[in-house]
Amino acid sequence: MGADGLESLSARELHDRAVRYAVRHGDFGFLWDLLKAIPAAEAATGHSDEAANDLSKISALLSDAMASGEGRLGEALRPIYLDYLGRHPDA
């Protein structure tokens, strides 16, 4: 679909199309950019309380990722770390 066709779609249709494509193609860069943009978009629409809530959720997910090498969680994720490091021997 060309740029003119995309312009005619609703925000919901654009969201569904973009997110579906990113998930199907493993484009985590786009998904991460989207997550980073949501709090500012919430604030721009006058929902500053929701923006703070979004930032808190993202912060919690990042905190979980940073601590995910500890205890039983770390052991459960061990195969993922081994696979990743095996594909990136310079890590």
Helix spans in 9-70 (H): 11-24, 28-44, 48-66
For the chain, give every domain's residue range.
6-87
Give the model confidence (pLDDT) of 51-78 as tens digits: 788 788 888 877 777 787 888 878 887 8
- DSSP assigned state of 53: H
15-61, pLDDT tens digit by residue? 999 999 998 988 888 888 888 888 888 888 888 888 788 788 888 87
Residues 19, 32 contacting (CB under 8 angstroms): no
Residue 49 is encoded by which pair of tokens?
A: 């309380």
CB 50 within 8 A of CB 42: yes
The residue whose two tokens read 């929701």 is 50
Distance CA 46, CA 61 (A): 25
Residue 56 confidence (pLDDT):
85
Residue the block writes with tokens 């919690």 = 60
